[in-house]
Amino acid sequence: MHVYWLEIIVLLGGLVLLMVEAFVAPKRKAIIAYSAIFPLVLALVCLFFPLNYSLDGNDELSRFYAVDSQAKFFKGFTLLAGILTLLLAIDFRKTLSKFTANPHSEDGTGEYYCLILFACAGMMWMASAKDLVSLFVSLELTTITSYILVGYMRRNVGSLEAGVKFLILGALSTGFLVYGISWIYGATGSTDLTVISARISESNPTYLLFGLSLILISLAFKIGAVPMHLWIPDVYQGAPTPTTAFLSVASKAAGFAVALRVLEPFLNSPLADKVIFILAVLAGATILLGNLAAIPQKNFKRLLGYSSIANAGFILMAVAAWNPWSDSELSSKQVVMFYLAIYLIMTFAAFFILAVVSRNTGSDDIAAFEGLGTRHPLLAFMTTIVIGALAGVPLTAGFLGKFFAFQAAINAGLWVPVSLGFVGVAAGFYYYFQIVRAMYWRSSLEESPMTVPPTSLYVIGVLSALLIVLAFTPQPILWLIGN
Amino acid sequence: MSILFVLIPILGALAILLGSKAKTTALIASGLNLFLGLGSLFCWQAKIWSMSPEILSKPSIHLAFGFYDGMSVIMMILSVLVLFAATMSGKCPEGREKLWYSSLLLIGGGALGAFLSTDLFFFYAFHELALIPTFLMIGILGSGERKEAAWKITIYLALGSIILLAGLIWLVSASGSETWLFSELLKSKIDPSAQTGIAALLIVGFGILISLFPFHSWAAPAYASAPAPVAMLHAGVLKKFGLYGLIRLYPMVSEGMQHWLGALIVLLLGNILWVGFVTINQKRLDTMLGNSSVMHMGYIFLAFAALVQAGSVEANPLAIPAAVVLMFAHGVSIALLFMLTDTIRRKTGTVELAELGGLAKAAPRLAFLFGLAGMASIGLPGLANFSGEVLVFLSGFEGYDGGKLGCVQVATILALWGVVISAVYMLRAFRQTFQGPAVPATSSKNVTDFGPFCQIPAALLALALLVVGLYPNSLLNLLKDPAPVAPTEQAAE
């Protein structure tokens, strides 16, 4: 089986389920959700089997479609993120149906699960895109699907507002992307990234840098870096929680996958110094703003939005510390992939916890966590582990991610972003520990125990256990990265 | 095998969280550790204690444990002693046994992990295991201004840790070492120009963790508000982590540190004199002890400064033994003092010096032990702190040939005043609390002498002070012995 069948499996699954959805009874739309997991699991399993990775004889496809360890990692990443999002959506479907066309049945919720499949397919193509055009097309598939996913709860004003904001800013960033691509094409004569990297040294640097800056603006929108971060808190807060989780993890990772592919020719060329300078400035500003703006937040969902901005800043710092390959340390790409792998685990755990608490208390605020220490000690303990990982407390896997990012930056001599990183980490301890404080220092008026759906409990348990285990044996992740 | 020291408390904490009887489990775990520790004193050089499986290949990090040298053994003994005393003597509020005992075990496990680790990465990481339990214990079960104290200590120590991390990463990359193991790192040389920056980061990073002046403002409020066992573990054991790190890594940055010698001396005198005078001004026993522990760090820094000025361990062979003996002595004495202060608080309901008096009538044994611990803290000969302090002062003049006084010598002379300062506040506190006529707070019927759960750990700590005070070679001999075979060479065999 050729590797490009993976996306086709997911896509076909989505299309078939979309057809099936029209015929499923309104009360039983959850079947679509459970079935949607199958194509993703199938693709994930196939990824581990020796597929036919060569594209011999298929010159046209190999022009557009890369098959390397980075592509494999991001495909697997997207599939796992998709599976977790569907699991979260299954437990979330009551809220979802409350805000769609017919609140008393699950009538309008079936398409949600299919859309997630389409978005996954788009991201998998993005992971393999080695031509600016295929990159753009797959990016559009994902983004447009995300617009719908964000505004899906159409009887909820917050969701609609988030959807509109996302749509307008997303369309703007798409405009920047296309304009940037056209400048690069004009400067180098091709949209194929391998050809571009061969022709960079002889092309006009001004045109190249201008085109790259425009593309960077669009990528900054995707990964949520300053100054294109303004959409994140509002969109994350308004969107349905599974969408937020999906955007926060998969969309961001896809953005980084694209960024790594697009930046690589430039960072290996004589223009590297200027590009690194731009990236370092972006990274420093993102770390500073993401962490400081999170301090006054009282809503956990919004806080997770700022936390994702802060994490994007740290990953960007690792990209700025560009290190193509080294004997004794991880290369920049590997650091980014490692950080994203840990980020997936931490963030999905946080969103599952948020969904559980929100279902029980009806609110996404940090105050909803009050008294969790007595209401559900196990959940509180697992939340403490997840919060510790997000903050970067050592002996959790979250610390390892930050450790590698800092190591890369210090070895590259990027002391300004590193110093801003100090402020960021210290600030992080404050705003993340707000949740720990709420759980244990405060008590809630409700003394009743929390109801936690079994799927969510198992997922949170597995994810938080992974966060501790991987802190002591991170080698499996390195294997997945392709070491 | 030395991983047992870390595993026993951590597994104990997990068992408590899963529902086993908290106090019993904690006592068993810390008691086991104490026996293991005292037993290992006789055979610590055996190869069986070390292990170093590689857990990450790029960069090469090992989950390595072992007694790297005598200093690790001494710090381990300190940790198991104080952990046992803290677990046994702590009076847990009703219904909070789980949190109380599991936190103490995690803090103790973290300290032991840090001192027994022979890989720089896990040396750093284990220290942070104590962060969340400390935050919860001070914030929930502390007293007084506990919430501010909890936030202050957590954020300040987090900042210190991240600065330290940057210094350690730079250290490892500049050394060109292939792994993060101590044995590999200490063999390598770093370019002197890089050493200056690295030394600065290490001084600031470790300094925040040791409460070096002016990074000390988190310590006194935290110790005053913390529950007594947490204060014992933090002031007695965890603080020494920074000094242990500085001494351990010193050979790699010796030239860089010399660049900062002047600043270091000014700061340590700030600890001794400035914070010393602040301590005299305290009106409560708990804040006085908190500030006193910050003050005494200055002496250990003085030994370190003497080492820095000399340029190498061979040039000043007294400096490291001085620092280590004083670290041990201070740890034991401050733990004992915090334990006894907590007893006073429980019996009389107050720690305000103005409200106490004549307690010796009702609690003579308590008075005796407090007097012993107080005298030890001042530096009375015959008790451990004197052995440490006299070695520190002697190391300050090591290599002095009778000519012009160098800055370390001047600092030593000024530091001697610290002895007077500590005598002032400690004797005054003792007199005010225990001597004189009895006052209402101390003469009510509740005030009895302390019970066996406090007597045994207190006696243990006091015994340690006496043993090291009367026979300092008990510790110094450990430092003279050659280090055991390094783990990487073992693995090759």
pLDDT, tens digit only, all 483 positions of chain A? 678 888 999 999 999 999 998 888 877 888 888 999 999 999 998 888 776 666 666 777 888 888 888 998 999 999 999 999 999 999 888 888 888 877 777 777 889 999 999 999 999 999 999 899 999 999 999 999 999 999 999 888 999 999 999 999 999 999 999 999 999 999 999 889 988 989 888 888 899 999 999 999 999 999 999 889 999 999 999 999 999 999 999 999 999 999 999 999 998 888 889 999 999 999 999 999 999 999 999 999 999 999 999 999 999 999 999 988 877 778 899 999 999 999 999 999 999 999 999 988 888 899 999 988 888 889 999 999 999 999 999 999 999 999 999 999 999 999 999 999 999 999 999 999 999 999 988 777 777 788 888 989 999 999 999 999 999 888 888 888 875
Whole-structure pTM value: 0.91
- For chain B, state the CA radius of gyration: 21
Q: Flag if A394 and B125 touch (Cβ within 8 Å).
A: yes
Interface check for B194 against chain A (CB to CB < 8 A): the answer is: no
- What integer pLDDT is reported at residue B292 of this predicted model? 94
- Residues of chain A with C-beta less than 8 angstroms from the C-beta of B63: 472
Measure CB to CB from residue B132 to each of A329, A384, A403 and give the nearest one.
A384
Between residues 319 and 338 of chain B, which touch chain A (CB distance below 8 Å)? none
Interface check for A470 against chain B (CB to CB < 8 A): the answer is: no
- Indicate the pLDDT class of residue B1, thresholds 50, 70 and 90: confident
What ipTM, to 2 d.p.?
0.88
Which of A447-451, A471-475, B116-120, B206-210 is least confident? A447-451
Three-state SS for A365?
A: strand
Give Cβ neighbours of residue B254 (< 8 Å, ≥ 6 apart).
Answer: B195, B308, B311, B312
Interface check for A411 against chain B (CB to CB < 8 A): the answer is: yes
Interface check for A482 against chain B (CB to CB < 8 A): the answer is: no
- Per-residue pLDDT at B487 exceeds 60: no
Buried b (16+ CB within 10 A) or exposed e, A453-482: eeebbebbeebbebbeebbeebeebbebbe
- Residues of chain A with C-beta less than 8 angstroms from the C-beta of B169: 403, 406-407, 410-411
- Residues of chain A with C-beta less than 8 angstroms from the C-beta of B147: 441
Cis geometry, peptide bond prior to residue B59 (ω within 30 degrees of 0): yes
From the CA of A203, how many Å to the nearest CA of chain B? 36
- Residues of chain A with C-beta less than 8 angstroms from the C-beta of B18: none
Between residues 62 and 121 of chain B, which touch chain A (CB distance below 8 Å)? 63, 99, 121
- What integer pLDDT is reported at residue B481 of this predicted model? 66
Interface check for B453 against chain A (CB to CB < 8 A): the answer is: no
From the CA of B232, how many Å to the nearest CA of chain A? 23
> Cα separations (Å) of A320 from A210, A332, B162, B236?
18, 8, 20, 42
- What integer pLDDT is reported at residue B490 of this predicted model? 45
Measure CB to CB from residue B136 to each of A394, A440, A475 and give the nearest one.
A440
Segment holding A304, helix H or strand E: helix A300-320
- Per-residue pLDDT at B43 exceeds 60: yes
Interface check for A371 against chain B (CB to CB < 8 A): the answer is: no
Number of other CB atoms surrounding residue A327 within 10 Å: 6
- What integer pLDDT is reported at residue B493 of this predicted model? 40
- Indicate the pLDDT class of residue B492, thresholds 50, 70 and 90: very low
Measure CB to CB from residue B55 to each of A418, A440, A473 and give the nearest one.
A473
- What integer pLDDT is reported at residue A52 of this predicted model? 66
Measure CB to CB from residue B163 to each of A393, A422, A436 and give the nearest one.
A422
Q: Flag if A393 and B132 touch (Cβ within 8 Å).
A: yes
Measure CB to CB from residue A472 to each of B63, B161, B165 and give the nearest one.
B63
Q: What is the distance in angstroms between the CA of the first residue and the CA of the last residue of chain B? A: 18
Q: Which residue of B has its CA nearest to A407?
A: B169
> How big is the A-B interface in CB pairs under 8 Å?
91
Q: Flag if B132 and A381 touch (Cβ within 8 Å).
A: no
Q: Give dist(CA B366, CA B340) in Å, integer.
A: 7
From the CA of B3, how many Å to the nearest CA of chain A? 13
> Cα separations (Å) of B168 from A179, A420, B202?
44, 17, 7
- Residues of chain A with C-beta less than 8 angstroms from the C-beta of B135: 433, 436
- Residues of chain A with C-beta less than 8 angstroms from the C-beta of B60: 328
- Indicate the pLDDT class of residue B333, thresholds 50, 70 and 90: very high
Interface check for A292 against chain B (CB to CB < 8 A): the answer is: no
Interface check for A295 against chain B (CB to CB < 8 A): the answer is: no
Token readout for A367 is 């105050």
Cα B314 off chain centre by: 25
Interface check for B162 against chain A (CB to CB < 8 A): the answer is: yes
- The arithmetic mean of pLDDT across residues B284-310, rounded, is 93
Interface check for A74 against chain B (CB to CB < 8 A): the answer is: no
* Closest to B475 (Cα-Cα) out of B341, B323, B282, B250: B323
- The arithmetic mean of pLDDT across residues B68-97, rounded, is 91
- Indicate the pLDDT class of residue B467, thresholds 50, 70 and 90: very high
Q: Flag if B158 and A473 touch (Cβ within 8 Å).
A: no
- Residues of chain B with C-beta less than 8 angstroms from the C-beta of A422: 159, 162-163, 166
- What integer pLDDT is reported at residue A75 of this predicted model? 92
Average pLDDT along chain B: 89
- Per-residue pLDDT at B447 exceeds 50: yes
Q: Flag if A429 and B129 touch (Cβ within 8 Å).
A: no
Q: Give dist(CA B18, CA B12) in Å, integer.
A: 10
Cis geometry, peptide bond prior to residue A227 (ω within 30 degrees of 0): yes
Query: Using CA atoms in the order A333, A336, A337, A341, what is the torsion angle rounded to 10 degrees?
Result: 170
Measure CB to CB from residue B139 to each of A395, A441, A483 and give the nearest one.
A441
Q: Domain ranges in chain B? A: 3-492
Percent of chain B predicted with pLDDT > 90: 61
Contact A344, A77 (CB under 8 A): yes
Per the document, the length of chain B is 493
Q: Flag if A430 and B151 touch (Cβ within 8 Å).
A: yes
Interface check for B17 against chain A (CB to CB < 8 A): the answer is: yes
Q: Flag if B165 and A406 touch (Cβ within 8 Å).
A: yes
